[in-house]
Chain A
Amino acid sequence: LAKTTQPISMDSYEGQEVNITCSHNNIATNDYITWYQQFPSQGPRFIIQGYKTKVTNEVASLFIPADRKSSTLSLPRVSLSDTAVYYCLVGGLDNAGNMLTFGGGTRLMVKP
């Protein structure tokens, strides 16, 4: 099962771009990479998912190198409301195994 490693916390300032990297050295061929965002006392919310190269939506971008052993969530021009915990999950779309493992996440603090 693919284990993920992320920084415990990060600080940033409003208007900056934030990049959060997740390591997943044992990623399997059928695994996808999914990122969730969680605000205090709320359930996590899906942000973005990818398999390889780059995925972009209205909220974030996800960069995945060719070897897929890591991925980077990029948040452009963060605001105070982006202060949250960000989780990287790796697993197959059948939701078995680590697709359901949230781990500790990365606590992002955005300062004015």
Chain B
Amino acid sequence: DADVTQTPRNRITKTGKRIMLECSQTKGHDRMYWYRQDPGLGLRLIYYSFDVKDINKGEISDGYSVSRQAQAKFSLSLESAIPNQTALYFCATSVTGERNEQFFGPGTRLTVL
């Protein structure tokens, strides 16, 4: 969905480096999410935020942190990247009360060497 953008789209980095993935949305949604997807598997939730002051851990939050700088921005950080964090990362948004349909960004393909 073009209303949800992610930067960068691709990133190759080395073990131990700090990496930030950014997500922006123009949909005016209050809820934002970060997921990771490994090849051939489903999506797993890393963190989610229901509004600017709300941050919640998901299924696999270890090794990650997030920041909700504004309603429209939600960034994901890998403090010290490791090879098993190589994956496709998706940001998503939804609005409270409207069937909670999630709108996904195009994804960021991250490779940690």
Contacts and interface: CB of A to CB of B under 8 A. Distances in A.
Contacts of B67: none
Contact of A87 (B42, B45, B103): B42
Contacts of B44: 102
A101 B45 contact: yes
Contact of A43 (B99, B100, B106): B106
A100 B107 contact: no
5 contacts: A43-B92, A44-B104, A46-B102, A46-B103, A93-B97
Instruction: For chain A, give the interface size range.
Output: 20 to 34
A94 B107 CA distance: 24
Interface of A: 32, 34, 36, 41-46, 49, 85, 87, 93-95, 99-105
Interface string B74-113: 0000000000000010101010010111111111010000
A93 B43 CA distance: 19
Interface residues of B, number: 28
Given A49-B99, A99-B100, A44 B106 contact: no
A84 B77 CA distance: 30
Contacts of B103: 46
Contacts of B99: 32, 34, 49, 93
B88 A104 contact: no
A42 B109 CA distance: 11
B58 A100 contact: yes
Contacts of B33: 100
A98 to B, nearest CB: 10
A85 B42 CA distance: 9
A43 to B, nearest CB: 2
B94 A45 contact: no
Contacts of A95: 31, 48, 50, 94, 100
Contact of A49 (B42, B45, B101, B104): B101
